[in-house]
Structure formats: structure tokens, C-alpha cells
Amino acid sequence: MHDEDFLARLYELGELGSTDTRFSDAAGDIWQHRTRNDDWDDDWIFTDARFNLRDGSDENLLRFLAETVHPLVRPDPDAVAQLVTGYNDALRADGFELYETGRIGLQPIYGWRQIAAVRAPAASRLRDHPDLADKRVLIQHLDRINRDIESDPAAAISSSKNLLETLCKIVLSDRGVEYPASDDLPGLFAKVAAELAINSNSVRDDQRGSDAIKKMMRTLTTTVQAVAEARNSSLGDGHGGEVESPAEARHARLVYNATTAVAEFVVDTWRP
């Protein structure tokens, strides 16, 4: 599909001015420079102020992206699946995603929606943190979360809990603190919190700030407990349940967001 035909699905090209004096509207100059001569770069539209994709509203860009994977625009389902995955990997960090809203035959039609933003596991600070000398197991957990967070939310929830357990063991081993093999996540985190004096951290010379921070510190324990319970309940895949987990991608994103907030705070406190 030529550029002018695709853009006519989204914009009234006849009402947009031309950047070429030989033509009266956008349809003419796009045809001239993309279809006839092909002398504009492939990414020309992102710098063309008439379409305002780079500096315009979120909705404008999201409508554009969704249209690029419409079956009538891109009939190859494998190419569509690859593009949607790439789009969503980038969009979810800002709290958006493309999702299936209908079908033409066997091929999906996509719209967009706002979601709880998720910090992409593939870009987690834990991967490159200078004080985590042996990150192999942590990276394995992050890779599993990144793989499963949309396609297998129950597995991603379990991997989130496993990531926190692994990090706690790394910190305790570094500090020479022994822990029994039977310790569960809340038990491990309690030892880490005590070792790092997490619940006593405060803000210097600011009593109100100190009180607020201390309240937030106490919620870390509650958050860790909730992550463990999510994994051990029907949402996770840790106990071989008899029925399919009801976990959805939004649940997995919530658990991972909570997990990464705790994990990064622990690392920053351990080795500031």
C-alpha cells in the first residue's frame, strides 16, 4: 500500500496543505515524493508537522500505530505479530498497549488502551547494576518475566517472586548472614530488612519526611508478603493447581512493578 493510500485511512489529505508548490494538498506531494520519485526518507512522516506524530497527542500516535497493523494495510500475520510485540514492548513503559478489538476473517484488528505502566524487564536496572557481581540467576528471572508477562501471566508472577527470593539470598550471602533452606520469601526479606536497617531509614532534618518514609518502608514488607501470596494463590503457577490460573496480564504487570520497586530499593540500600 502506498503512503498516500495508507494515510488517507487516517487523515483528510485533501484538507492538508502541500509542501510542494506543484500540488494543492498533501495527497499530491506525498504521491510525488513517495510513490512516483521515492525521494523522501522512509521515516519522513515522523518529522512532518502536518501529521504531528512526534510532538502531538498520545492518541494521534497510537491511532497511527494501530492502523499500521490493520489486516488491509499489512496482510502478513507474522509481520503483524512481530510489530505488535515490538510496539507493546516500547509502549508499556508509558502505560499503553495495542490490543485485539476484532477480526477480519482470521486476522486481528488492533486498537489501543491505557494500562498500568510497567518498567520493561528487558531494561531493568538490575541487569547492569555495578554491585551485583553475579547476576546470572537474576537475569534468568527477568528474561522469563519479559517472555511471559503478556502470554503467561501466572508464570510471570511466579518468576517475580523467585526474583525477589534470589536477590534476598544474594544480599544475605554477601553480608555473611546464614539462612535456612526452608526460609520463604517473607522470612528472607525480614532478614534482609534487619541486616540493612530498612525500616529505620529516615530523612535527615525533616521529621515529617522521616515519618512518611518510614511508613513507606513498612509497606515494603506488606508488598513482599503480597507478592509471595500472589504466587502461592491461584494467580501463580507454583503449586500445580487443577484449574487454569485466572491471572491476566494486568495482574502480572502489577506484581512485577511491585517486585522491581522493592528489588531496586534493596540494591540501592545495600550498596548505595
Q: Which domains does the chain have, with CATH numbers?
A: 3-114 (no CATH), 121-270 (1.20.120)
Does residue 175 register a pLDDT over 70?
yes
**Per-residue pLDDT, 32:** 92
Instruction: Give the pLDDT confidence of 187-218 residue by residue, as tens digits.
Output: 999 899 888 887 665 555 556 655 666 677 77
* Alpha-carbon gap, residue 23 to 136, rounded angstroms: 59
Query: Grid coordinates in use for 248?
Result: 491476566
**Per-residue pLDDT, 80:** 93
* Alpha-carbon gap, residue 110 to 121, rounded angstroms: 24
Q: Is 82 helix (H, G, I), strand (E, B) or coil?
A: helix
Instruction: Give the pLDDT confidence of 74-115 residue by residue, as tens digits.
Output: 999 999 999 998 898 888 778 888 999 999 998 999 999 887
- Closest C-alpha to 214, from 203, 204, 222, 225: 203
Q: Is 154 helix (H, G, I), strand (E, B) or coil?
A: helix
Q: CA 243 → CA 13, 111, 234, 239, distances in Å? A: 53, 31, 8, 11
Q: Is 96 helix (H, G, I), strand (E, B) or coil?
A: strand
In this prediction the pTM is 0.59
Which are the contacts of 162, defined by CB distance < 8 A and separation ≥ 6? 141
* Alpha-carbon gap, residue 67 to 61, rounded angstroms: 10
